[in-house]
Amino acid sequence: MSLTRLAGTVLGVLVFAAALAIWDAWPRSEWAAFYFPGLGDIGRTAWEVWPSGDFLRAVGASLKRLAVGYMLGSLAGVAVGLAMGTSACVRSTLGPTTEFLRAVPVIAVLPIAIVLLGDEDAMRVGIIAFGVVFPVLVATIGGVRAVPPETRDTAALFRLGHVERAVRVYLPCALPAIFTGLRTALSIGLVLVVISEFTGRGDGLGVAIWNWQSVSAVPEMYAGILFLGLLGYTLNGLFLVLQRRILAWHYGAIGEHVR
């Protein structure tokens, strides 16, 4: 690790630690202390709540929904993005519809999803997939359209069919852009897991946090929020490791060392 990168990492840790210290040291009235407990209270509560069977089952349920919705949305985004990126006809046909749907806030689709899919897992997976598909779709279209003209000419010279050209030429060239969209979609998916679980029946982290809030179990609520932050940070880190491995050829070509 270079000295500059090490200094940046240390500075980031110090800034985060300073933010936590400010939270803990901020003067509180009795009312504020109830709604904004200190780090000690949150930490002790987290130590008790996180290992519990009910909490671990809630985490497992949320991760399962995230995995299914993320996979469905990502596959749809890549497939439709490839078709739109490689064909002007498909792009002009589907473009207005996709742009309209992309402009609709996902939270506004939630009531429709409840009516169509019920208020359990199908609705939640559908909401996650709907929110995931568009970042991946836009990134895929951009990546395909950025393929160099000489690469397109080479594919045409070998007389590759449309599908073969899209899968064997355009998709690999667009992978760096696609992974950018996938990373953005992962954080969106985690947000939508929680939002979808705030509504309806069942289990999950969103349900647990909502239930704690409704009975004024404030330290437990913050413990759940803290776990969500750590979960998102961990998932992002794992995604970056996977991206570095799959796109090692890309980082090598641009002269960036693969960690």
Q: Cβ of 228: how many Cβ atoms within 10 Å?
A: 19
Overall average pLDDT of the 36-44 stretch: 86
The pLDDT, as a whole number, for residue 259 is 47
C-alpha triplet 250, 253, 167: angle, nearest 5°? 40
pLDDT per residue as tens digits for the range 136-145: 999 999 999 9
CA nearest 135: which of 202, 73, 192?
73
Query: pLDDT tens digit string along 71-87?
Result: 999 999 999 999 999 88
Nearest to 127 by CA among 184, 198, 179: 198
Token pair listed for 101: 């749907």
User: For residue 64, which of 188, 182, 242, 204 has the smallest C-alpha distance?
Assistant: 204
Task: Tell me the C-alpha distance between 179 and 112, whole Å.
Answer: 30
The average pLDDT across 32-61 equals: 88
Query: What are the boundaries of each domain within the chain?
Result: 43-251
Q: What is the pLDDT of residue 258?
A: 44
Alpha helices in the chain (DSSP H): 3-25, 30-35, 39-49, 53-86, 88-103, 106-117, 121-145, 149-157, 162-165, 171-197, 205-214, 218-246, 248-253
Asked if pLDDT for residue 251 goes beyond 70, the answer is no
43-251 homologous superfamily: MetI-like (1.10.3720.10)
d(CA 156, CA 162) in angstroms, rounded, equals: 10
User: What is the reported pLDDT for 37?
Assistant: 84
Using one digit for the tens of pLDDT, what is the confidence trace for 154-191? 777 777 777 778 888 888 889 999 999 999 999 999 99
Instruction: Answer whether residue 133 shows pLDDT above 60.
Output: yes
- CB of 191 within 8 A of CB of 132? no
The SS3 of residue 232 is helix
Q: Tokens at residue 21, please?
A: 């210290």
Is-above-0.85 flag for pTM? yes
